Structure 1
């Protein structure tokens, strides 16, 4: 695989982890939000990643990329609480809190951050390899 192919993979991985961090930030920002109905309540969102393989005309693998296939809502249900004095309470006195687990989001943020750092390290190592090759050519 060429250096360019490695840069493409690492670059697309960086974009994917940036998207992941953005969804975590959105989820954490909305963690305490309240709604009057289950349908209106915020649900955590999660990016879905897919690997795109690139092939030559001969069918050989020439590269790959990390693709963001979409961003989907979590299946975690909003928390229903009986709070008739709350200004957002429905006719039955219930409010619905966002379906966000803060601990899971923090763990996801740490994982995304580490994955981002790993991709940065790959770029740095490839750059170092290229510099080494240039130095060999100057001898």
Structure 2
């Protein structure tokens, strides 16, 4: 693998983790977003999945976003008869977002992003040293 391929793989990883951070942030921002009409569904947690992507030209595998989907776990309900989205029994469907899961996802994505950034920095340093040796 050459220097440019290493940089491309790291850049792919950074883009993937940045999108993962965006999805987790969106989930956290909407963790209390309920429906507005009686019995309406609240915000549904988004999920992100990745896939391996082979660059035909270089023969190097990277990572791409396969899909941004929705978590199909059931909604919890909370008794609040005065809420506009309360059903006939007074229960409101709450989003299926777990703050701890989202925070852990953000930490993992941050560490993966940093690892890819470190790889880019080391590769750049090696490239600079190689150029200096050729002078």
TM-score (norm 2): 0.91
* SS in structure 1 of the partner of residue 125 of structure 2: helix
Q: Does residue 1:44 correspond to 2:45, yes or no?
A: yes
1:9-48 equivalences in 2 (<5 Å): 9-35=9-35, 36-37=38-39, 40-48=41-49
Query: Which range moves more in the overlay, 125-134 or 88-97?
Result: 88-97
- Residues in 1 aligned to 2:46 and 2:109: alpha-carbon distance in whole angstroms: 15
| Distance across 2 between alignment mates of 1:85 and 1:54 | 56
The more displaced of 114-123 and 87-96 is: 87-96
Would the aligned equivalents of 1:43 and 1:77 in 2 still touch at CA under 8 Å?
no
CA deviation digits over 1:52-79, x for unaligned, max 9? 12346xxxx7212211011011122211
Name structure 2 gaps, 5 residues minimum.
none
- Once the two structures are superposed, residues 57-107 of structure 1 have per-residue CA deviations (whole angstroms, 9 ceiling, x without a partner) of xxxx72122110110111222111222122321223111111000001000
The TM-score normalised by the length of structure 1 is 0.89
* Structure 1: runs of 5+ lacking an equivalent: none
Q: Which moved more, 1:72-81 or 1:118-127?
A: 72-81
Inter-partner Cα distance in structure 2 for 1:54 and 1:79: 43
Task: Report if the CA contact (8 A) 2:39-2:85 is conserved.
Answer: no
Q: CA RMSD in A?
A: 1.5
Rounded to whole Å, the distance in 1 between the matches of 2:8 and 2:53 is 11
